[in-house]
Each structure stands twice: as structure tokens, then as C-alpha cells.
Amino acid sequence: MPAPPPPPPPVLTPEAEKGEKGARNVLLTWARALENHQFGTAWEQFGHPPSSRAAFARWWQRYRTIMVTLGEGVVEGGAGSLYYEVPATVSGETVQGRPYRLQGNVVVRRVNDVDGATPAQLRWHIDSADLKDVGAR
């Protein structure tokens, strides 16, 4: 039986949504979705997903258990966008029963409030998730 969907992130004021809390909400939604094997929801957090929805789900289905730990980050500006980068660790057990551990940085991004920016560009989204297999520890 599939796990229930993860709870939605807290509702933020429009001003809070533009800042660090909004960026963190995207990361928490992604992390909860992975942990609950809701891979479509995790995939939706990417601005430009690394693969198709089906391929993304197939890749994550190799893990029986998934636990995501997110570090702290700081919102930084650059080239017309805001970025929020955090260290992340994903660990658990594969479907074969072996422990695994992935580590790296996850970057979320949104375009600054500029004329002509689309709603999708103004929304925080995962820009990159550079997770490498570092073996079980």
C-alpha cells in the first residue's frame, strides 16, 4: 500500500514566500515526498527536472527506505535570481537490503521580481541536486 501523500508545507505570506522560508518549503516538500515515495511530487519541485517523471521515479524506486537530512543555507542574489543552497544527505536501505548514503548540495532558485517574469520563474524551484554516492557510513 503506498504511503499517504506528505503534508503540504505551511502557508506563507506572499512576502515570506519570496524569501528563505519559501525556498526552505520547496526543499521540505521535496524531502518529504522522497521519504514517502511520492516521486511525482518530488519531481515537480524541479524547475527543469533532470529526467522524465517516469525515469525519475524508476531511479528512486531502487531504495526501500529514504531519509533526507537538509542543512542550513543562506539566500544569495546573483544575475537577476535568488539562490538558496544547502547540504543534503539521503540515506537508507536499497531494495536489496544494503545501506546507502548520498551526499551533496541542493540549490533552489527563483527569479527576482522583475517586469515580464512568469509565475513559474518567480516560484522557488530546485535548480540542481548534486548528490553523489559516498557509500554507507
Evaluated on CA atoms 13, 19, 20, 23, the torsion sign reads: positive
Q: What is the set of domains in the chain, with CATH numbers?
A: 14-133 (3.10.450.50)
Q: Where are the beta strands (DSSP E) in 21-124?
A: 63-70, 75-78, 81-94, 99-111
**Residue recorded with cell 531502487:** 62
pLDDT tens for the chain, residues 1 to 137: 555 655 566 565 556 567 799 999 999 999 999 999 999 999 999 999 989 999 999 999 999 999 999 999 999 998 889 999 999 999 999 999 999 999 999 999 999 888 888 888 889 999 999 999 998 76
Residue 33: left if φ>0, alpha if ψ -120 to 50, beta else—which one?
alpha
Provide the pLDDT for residue 55: 97
Provide the pLDDT for residue 8: 62
pTM attached to this predicted model? 0.86
Provide the pLDDT for residue 112: 87
Provide the pLDDT for residue 119: 84
Provide the pLDDT for residue 28: 97
Q: What is the dihedral of CA 126, 128, 129, 134, to 10 degrees?
A: -170
Provide the pLDDT for residue 115: 81
